[in-house]
Structure 1
């Protein structure tokens, strides 16, 4: 099974959508292995968004992510990265399909509810950035056979 990172952005916290968004991932069948609230420093934001450094909106992204604390989550499941990204929907909330998190809760490209890792490789890097190993918990889930066929996990 695969792990992935989800960040519930400040807009999610400010709008009181935390429980609803977490419930969407849980209802899908993803397994929560870590969660914490944290205030992102400029250093962490510069590292996390380094791939946008040369873009005109780099500072806007960092400013938006520093408005208030965020909630970082580690989710696990078969193809977790793709499952989370499908649930999240298109980056621009105005273009996201109804039924996706962004399609249901966002009208913005920036204030788009969640950050989701874009590949298993990126997820591994991002999880190390936001969690210490002792903050992630692997445990036996009793309902795996009701989530997957026995040869899927």
Structure 2
């Protein structure tokens, strides 16, 4: 997990694919208006699961078809819908790099992901990461705050 404040320029770069669309300026202004929490979710079908938890992009629709979703519960408008989620593995890689520039997906898959498959996992609130529970040496997954 990473909490950050984005500058307007950061938001413009992140949402550049939407430049010229009617909602672009409002989206950029909103995203630069306060703190952001970014997470890397790691599990089978993480993208689809997160998109289900978020609910539809349009808040009105979310309130009717997925009222218990994040957007159905907390969204204000289609632009201020409380959450963002990658729509594909390719988008996730690009977006992870934007929020976590020091994170290496390849290193995570090679070094950290196998550790997390070895047994129970615990959450470390200090680092905002998950670690193998009960490990004598917490290993690199617990020493580097890469998020999970």
Higher gyration radius (CA): 2
TM-score, scaled to structure 2: 0.67
Structure 1 residues 98, 52: CA separation in 2 closer, same or farther (over 3 Å shift)? same
Shift in Å, 1:143: 4.2
Equivalent residue, structure 2, for 1:128: 97
The answer to whether structure 1 residue 117 and structure 2 residue 86 are counterparts is yes
Moved runs in structure 1, 4+ residues, more than 6 A?
none
| Secondary structure at 1:82 match in 2 | helix
Two-structure CA RMSD over aligned residues (Å): 2.1
| Secondary structure at 1:75 match in 2 | coil
Shift in Å, 1:117: 0.7
State the distance in 2 between where 1:143 and 1:95 align: 38
Aligned residues: 110
Equivalent residue, structure 1, for 2:116: 140
Match of residue 92, structure 1, among 43, 53, 58: 58
List gaps (5 residues or longer) in structure 1: 1-34, 145-153
Matches within 5 A, 1:6-45: 35-45=1-11
Give a deviation string over 1:103-135, Cα, whole Å, max 9, x none: 122231011111111111100010011103358
The answer to whether structure 1 residue 52 and structure 2 residue 28 are counterparts is no
Give a deviation string over 1:80-125, Cα, whole Å, max 9, x none: 1111001100001221111211112223101111111111110001
The answer to whether structure 1 residue 103 and structure 2 residue 60 are counterparts is no
TM-score, scaled to structure 1: 0.65
